[in-house]
Structure 1
Amino acid sequence: MKKINKETILEVIEKTDYILITTHNKLSLPIIRRIYKKMINGIKFDDIKVCGNCIIDGHHRFVSSILAKIKLDEAKSSKTSATIEYKWESVDFVEEEWDTLEKIQRLNELDAEFNKIPIEKIIELTK
């Protein structure tokens, strides 16, 4: 996969048969890249939450899965009155890192536990 940025994400979304509607207008590229690296190396993730064809929770996982050509399972969820649907072209994919080092460490620990592998393997995959 070439560099993961807004252009490559939109190219892949445009070519895929399976697409969900985003309810977020901003996503973090560093998070997408981290999850993508894990996915292409066989790390499994929890279901994304959807209501109809809208993503409620799991936007970064969904985008990463589209890039990795992996279908994630879905869990039914519900919208609230504050839920807004956006077109993928209008999403702001930012270079800003939203996770602290502590949160990244905790997520790596959870991924290792979920996949029943050592934390060191998860850390190596994300370098």
Structure 2
Amino acid sequence: MIEITVKGIKKFIGHNEIALTSTHHKLSLPVIKRMYKKMVNGIKFDDIKIFENLVIDGHHRYISSLLAEIEIGKIKSLKSSATKEYKWNDIEFDENDWDTDSKIQYLNERDAEYNQIDIETINDIVSE
């Protein structure tokens, strides 16, 4: 398991070809950290939504899956006229957590149900 930091993610992006393009200019580092921990511990996630080469929904899942070297499913979606493209090198990784404690618990419960495991296992993974 690697340490997920802004510097580490930027280094990864600089040294790897990222197949899909972001449509968000900012992502939450703590959200990426939680997803990464879950992925490297075998937790599966919903598919991300893409339009051609654009990530429409699932940016945190996508970058976490790349860092974890885990293939994530992709389903086709639509884009709106307001959709903008951002180079991964230009993405800002916010060190603030965008999720509240109650949302984190809700997502952990959902992940436990989706993966058919107990919630304690998920809670242990993210608290490591």
TM-score by length of structure 2 reads 0.93
> Unaligned regions of 5+ residues in structure 1, if any?
none
AA of the residue aligned to 1:62: Y
* Unaligned segments of structure 2, at least 5 residues: none
**Counterpart for residue 28 of structure 1:** 28
Shift in Å, 1:9: 1.4
Runs of 4+ deviating beyond 4 Å: none
Kindly state the Cα deviation for residue 80 of structure 1 after the two structures are TM-superposed. 0.2
1:18, 1:94 → 2: CA distance?
20
Q: Does 1:113 align with 2:108?
A: no
**8 A contact 1:50–1:76 mirrored in 2:** yes
Give the match for residue 87 of structure 1: 87
The CA deviation at 1:18 is 4.9
* Preserved CA contact (<8 Å) 2:13 2:89: no
How far off is 1:14 after superposition? Answer: 3.7
Query: Aligned residue for 2:73?
Result: 73
Partner of 2:47: 47
1:23/1:56 contact within 8 Å kept? yes
Q: 1:23 to 1:12 in 2, by over 3 A?
A: same
The root-mean-square deviation of aligned C-alpha atoms, in Å, is: 1.3
- The residue identity in structure 2 corresponding to 1:90 is D
In structure 1, what is the Cα distance between the partners aligned to 2:54 and 2:6?
20
Give CA deviations for 1:61-85 in whole Å, capped at 9, x if unaligned: 0010010001101010011011000
**TM-score, normalization: structure 1?**
0.94
* Aligned-residue offset at 1:52: 0.4
CA drift of 1:5 comes to: 2.1
What residue in structure 1 maps to residue 8 of structure 2? Answer: 8
| 1:13–1:19 Cα contact (<8 Å) kept | no
C-alpha distance in 1 between matches for 2:76 and 2:4: 29
